Amino acid sequence: MARNLDFVVSLARIAYSALCYFFTPLIIWRLLWRSFKAPAYAKRWGERWGYIDRQPSEAALIWLHAVSVGESLAAMPLVAALRVRYPNARIFITCMTPTGSQRISAAIGDDLSIGHSYAPYDSPTAVARFLRRAQPKLLIIMETELWPNTIAACYAQQIPVMLANARLSSKSARGYQRLPMLCRPMFTQLSGVAAQTEDDAARFLALGTRPTALRVTGNIKFDMSLGLDVIARAHELECQWRGSVNRPVWLAASTHAGEDRIVLAAFAVVKQQFPTLLLVLTPRHPERFDSVYKDCANAGFAVQRMSQSEPSLAAVDIVVGDTMGELLAYYGACDIAFVGGSLVPVGGHNMIEPAAWGLPILTGPEVHNFIEVARLLEQAGALRYCADATQLAVETIALLQDSDCRESMGRAALMVATANRGALSRLLQSLTELDIESL
Task: Using the predicted structure, report yes or no on whether residue 293 has a pLDDT greater than 70.
Answer: yes
Mean pLDDT of 111-125: 92
pTM of full prediction above 0.85: yes
Radius of gyration in angstroms for the set of CA atoms belonging to the chain, rounded to a whole number: 23
**So what's the pLDDT on residue 132?**
96
- Give the C-alpha distances (Å, rounded to integers) separating 229 from 105, 221, 401: 18, 19, 32
pLDDT, residue 75, reads: 84
Mark 30-66 as b/e (b = at least 16 C-beta within 10 Å): eeeebbeeeeebeeeeebbbbebeebeeeebbbbbbb
At 217 the pLDDT is 95
The per-residue b/e assignment along 274-306, b for 16 or more CB within 10 angstroms, e otherwise, is: beebbbbbbbbbbbbbeebbebbeebebebbbb
Mean local confidence (pLDDT), 282-307:
94
Q: Which CATH number fits domain 228-419: 3.40.50.720, 3.30.70.1150, 3.40.50.2000, 3.20.20.10?
A: 3.40.50.2000
Domain with CATH 3.40.50.11720 in the chain: 2-218+422-433
Kindly give the residue spans of alpha helices, DSSP state H, lying in 195-304: 198-206, 228-242, 260-273, 289-298
pLDDT of 86 strictly over 80: yes
Which residues are designated catalytic? 71
Helix (H, G, I), strand (E, B) or coil at 360: coil
* CATH of span 2-218+422-433: 3.40.50.11720
Helices and strands counted in the chain (H then E): 19, 14
pLDDT bucket at 4, cuts 50 / 70 / 90: low
Q: What is the DSSP letter of 303?
A: E
Q: pLDDT tens-digit profile of 134-178?
A: 999 999 999 888 999 999 999 999 999 999 999 998 889 999 999
Number of Cβ within a 10 Å radius of residue 230: 17
Calculate the alpha carbon distances from 11 to 42, 154, 383 in Å. 34, 19, 48
Where are the CATH 3.40.50.2000 domain residues in the chain? 228-419
Q: Exposed (0-12), middle (13-18) or buried (19+): which is 209, by Cβ within 10 Å? A: buried
Give percent of the chain above pLDDT 90.
Answer: 78
Q: pLDDT at residue 1 above 70? A: no
Chain center to CA of 338: 17
Residue 429 neighbours by CB distance under 10 Å: 12
Confidence label for 38 from pLDDT (cuts 50, 70 and 90): confident
> Which is more confident, 438 or 364?
364
